[in-house]
Structure 1
Amino acid sequence: MRPVRLSVVTAAAAVTALTALTGCADKGDAKGGDGAITVTAKDDACEVSKKEFPAGHVTFDIENKGSKVTEVYLLFPDARIVTERENIGPGTKASITAEVKAGDYEVACKPGMKGDGIRQQVKATGGKTVKRSPEMDKAVADFRTYVQQQADETLPKVKVFTDAVRAGDVEAAKKAYADSRIGWERTEPVAESFGDIDPKVDLREDGVADLKKGEQWTGWHRLEKALWQDKKLGPEEKALADALDKDLADWAGRVGKAEITPTSMANGAKELLDEVATGKVTGEEERYSHTDLVDFKANVEGAQKSFELLKPVAAKNDPKLVTELDKQFAAMEALLDTYRADKNTYVFTSYDKVTAPQRKELSDGVNALAEPLSKLGAAVVK
């Protein structure tokens, strides 16, 4: 849910990645085929073809007819995210399938990927009860265990980081910074589904303008700037460290209650590749510390975990897709390994040392993985 700012030399590569990640660059009219709900996103409107639809597995065919990159969300009334598709370029389409229970929801389009967006009220009525196979139930249960484990393991790593900040030890805080973010980056779509936690802990400087009145820029990236650009730790930074501990403890306490379905797992894997394309390949995410490749690796690992858990179901429905995803995940892992001396550690090349041709190679690798990964959700519900 973070804004995209394509201001570095890799902007062209990122735009290519965005096209791949939307899953379709066709510029024809969206018809909402096969019973899908059509969402037409414009700069000043969010048009939905059906305001009521049966509950169950629901597909949204999205077309961006605006002039800005947009994102589309299906939201619970309390603003929790049911499903989302970010980074839909102008003139492109995307499709997303979600498991939707009967109830009231909002569809939100966010032109420019900013603000609260343009919203439409929709309702899922009666409809089919989604029946899951034992393999699907196991995948969801195992993934719930995984995200809780990642949150629980993050807290002590964050405390090493925040303790260094509180002690005023710049070098120790720098050393602990990237490691403290790995568990979050592996499971970010689940954390983002709550709506209120991500802006507190992971907001980049681009998003400061979107903060509501009275809100402050807090979290990892505010401290990243203090460490690498300002090169100082004072009372304000120590207070930010306390807030980060508190907000991440809140995350760890709530993550076990997240709405998780097989389709949200598949869509979340796609979202993690989206994060790579728009934040890590461009060098935008960690613009001060240049630890982007650590985040990159963690995002890919989180996507791969979802895929591995869903593989027993996907292999029955689309074995060719599973074979291709196995191949592309292996290729992505091999490419990332070229940027670290020891495969058993998370010490990667500083991203400011990665050349433009190398960034293009990384972008191409993301594209090659993103295209088949965008089909995983459909393979799960066949």
Structure 2
Amino acid sequence: MNTHRLVGAAALAGVGALVLAGCVARADVAASDALTVTSTADGCEVSAATATSGTLAFDVTNEGDEVTEFYLLADDGLRIVGEVENIAPGASRTLTVVAQPGEYFTLCKPGMLGEGVGRTGFSVSGDAVAIDGEDAELKQQAVDLYAAFVKDQVENLVPQVDALVTAYESGDDGTAKTLFPQVRAYYERIEPIAEALGDLDPKIDYREVDAVAEGLDWTGFHRIEKDLWVPAQDALNADGETPAWQDWAPSTPEERAAFGDQLVSDIAELDAYVHSDDFQAALDSQGVAGLSNGAIALLDEVATGKITGEEDWWSGTDLWDFAANVEGSKMAFSLVSDFAAAQGDDGAALVDEIDGGYTALEESLATHGSLASGFIFYPELTDADKRELTDLLNALAEPLSQLTVTVLE
């Protein structure tokens, strides 16, 4: 949580060539590369697992009972490089992309919630493809890809929060503790979106010290966190002064139900927003500058909370949030890096420096765990560990701060 009010950010684990969707004529698709996709309740069958680089079309037919989506994902399995949504039962839609050589994944998402079904590897061979098109059109495609990612993250967040709340409200604290940092990763990758919606982020993600300072009712993830990791008798709040047990008592079952239901409701509001015309209009109004500023904002989230251990004060799960923020920042950077690199040698050098900064920071984080397998808890970091992460964060933040002005040149 932070007080930035910027729209922009998404997530990935690696930066590759940008694949732009929906900008090429259907007639350009080679006959040999025509692909069909059948989406069902539990499957996503693609007619081929390989294709040649260039313009590809995926003709998606929904044979399930729910509205579905189809995604082409990058080799990290996280970054969306093309998607088509709102395919009604019995209907068909086409996703057209310019596909560069590399490894991808395909999947469908019946009901447009959760992780999707039928995730399968998809390989593209051949030579790199030059992408033609007006600069403004390419920039709009970058914004649209970011919008698609945000929707996907929130669609995953909704059922994950339901599972966390179910465990919390039922008193299954062991399960809730396991889920807590995993669920939060979906939110942390896209946090600036909620921060742009007035009081929504405070309700979802304010720490106790922030809520008290602003005179707000304390709800959301961190209210649940304090119930799950009951503070020790000698513990202090995040302000370093107030005893943690002052005016504190574990929530009753009725209070847990209220806090849990409130979080579910607030996440549902976020889900409705990212699927609204207002969300797309907000992204469109900021354009690629919004994505660039989002990359910077998410790195600021790390610098002002996660690196200090003040975000997840009770659980010590700050490194999960740290990693998700970095993924989100890197994704936003990847979507605008081509525009920065196009600004001559200086722009290309800046992109290389930023890319190297992300790599070094990720490698350091990896020595402490991963989002997939879990991290060590923040109190287990040594002072040397914290200094290393801080130095790498600062080394990345300086060139990243130049990104927006370079993109807009």
TM range (shorter): 0.5 to 0.7
1:178 alignment partner AA: P
In structure 1, the residue matched to 2:304 is: 278
| Distance 1:82-1:285 versus aligned 2 partners, 3 A rule | closer
**Is the Cα–Cα contact under 8 Å of residues 2 and 207 in structure 1 kept in the other structure?**
no
Name the SS for the 1:285 alignment partner. coil
Cα 1:337–1:233 shift into 2, 3 Å: farther
Residue type of the alignment partner of 1:325 = I
1:229 counterpart SS class: coil
AA partner of residue 367 (structure 2): T
Aligned partner letter, 2:204? V
Residue 219 of structure 1 corresponds to 220
In 2, Cα distance between the equivalents of 1:306 and 1:268? 7
1:143 aligns with 2:146: yes
**Residues 1:152 and 2:155 aligned together:** yes
Q: CA deviation at 1:346?
A: 4.5
- For 1:344 and 1:190, locate their aligned partners in 2 and report how far apart those are by CA, in whole Å: 21
AA matched with 1:135:
L
Cα offset, 1:196, TM superposition: 1.8
Q: Which residue of 2 aligns with 1:189?
A: 192
User: Which deviates the most, 287-296 or 151-160?
Assistant: 151-160
User: In structure 2, do the counterparts of structure 1 residues 346 and 150 end up closer, same or farther at CA, with 3 Å as the change threshold?
Assistant: farther
CA contact (8 A) 1:2 1:204 kept: no
- Find the counterpart in structure 1 of residue 106 from structure 2: none
Number of residue pairs aligned between Structure 1 and Structure 2: 256
Q: d(CA) in 1 for partners of 2:371 and 2:316?
A: 20
Give 5+ residue unaligned stretches, structure 1. Answer: 4-70, 74-80, 84-130
**CA separation in 2, counterparts of 1:147 and 1:313?**
21
Matched, 1:373 2:400: yes
SS at match of 1:345: coil
CA contact (8 A) 2:181 2:317 kept: yes
Q: What SS does the corresponding residue of 1:181 show, helix, strand or coil?
A: helix
- Cα deviation for residue 175 of structure 1 reads 0.8
Q: Conserved in 1, the CA contact under 8 Å of 2:2 and 2:304?
A: no
The answer to whether the 8 Å contact 1:205/1:221 transfers is: yes
Query: Which residue identity lines up with residue 308 of structure 2 in the other structure?
Result: T
1:322 matches 2:351 = yes
Q: Return 251-260 or 199-208, whichever deviates more.
A: 251-260
Q: CA deviation at 1:314?
A: 1.3
Counterpart of 2:183 (choices 164, 180, 184) is 180
2:362 corresponds to which residue?
Answer: 333
Change over 3 Å in CA distance of 1:178–1:82 after alignment to 2: closer
In structure 1, the residue matched to 2:289 is 263
1:216 Cα deviation from its structure 2 partner: 1.4
Q: Given that residues 174 and 227 in structure 1 are in contact (C-alpha distance below 8 angstroms), is that contact kept between their aligned partners in structure 2?
A: yes
Shift, 1:208, TM fit: 1.7
The unaligned stretches of length 5 or more in structure 2 are 9-133, 232-249
Q: Is the 8 A contact 1:165 1:233 kept in 2?
A: no
Cα distance in 2 for partners of 1:298, 1:346 equals 14
C-alpha distance in 1 between matches for 2:170 and 2:325: 30
Structure 1 position 132, deviation (Å): 5.7
| 8 Å contact kept, 2:342–2:348 | yes
Displaced runs of 4 or more, over 4 A = 230-233
Contact 1:191 1:197 in 2 (8 A): yes
Match in the other structure for 2:118: none
Quote the sequence identity (%): 39
Counterpart of 2:262? 243
**For 2:251 and 2:174, how far apart are their aligned partners in 1?**
10
Aligned to 1:358: 385
- Report the counterpart of residue 296 of structure 1 in structure 2: 322
Paired residues of 2:295 and 2:332 also in contact (CA < 8 A): yes
Q: Distance in 1 between matches of 2:272 and 2:251?
A: 31
> 1:234, CA displacement in angstroms?
2.4
- Residue aligning to 1:252: 271
Which residue in the other structure is 1:51 paired with? none
Conservation of the 8 A alpha-carbon contact between 1:191 and 1:255: no
State whether residues 224 and 288 of structure 1, in contact with CA within 8 Å, keep that contact through their aligned partners in structure 2.
yes
Deviation at 1:233, TM superposition (A): 5.9
User: Which structure has the larger Rg?
Assistant: 2
Structure-1-length-normalised TM-score:
0.64
Rounded Cα–Cα distance in structure 1 between residues aligned with 2:211 and 2:374: 30
SS, match of residue 194 in structure 1:
coil
Which AA in structure 2 matches 1:239?
A
Give, in whole Å, the separation in 2 of the partners of 1:295 and 1:82.
18
Q: What is the distance in 2 between the residues matched to 1:174 and 1:82?
A: 30
Contact kept, 8 Å, 2:7 with 2:193, in 1: the verdict is no
Structure 1 residue 2 corresponds to structure 2 residue 2: yes
User: Are 2:372 and 1:345 aligned?
Assistant: yes
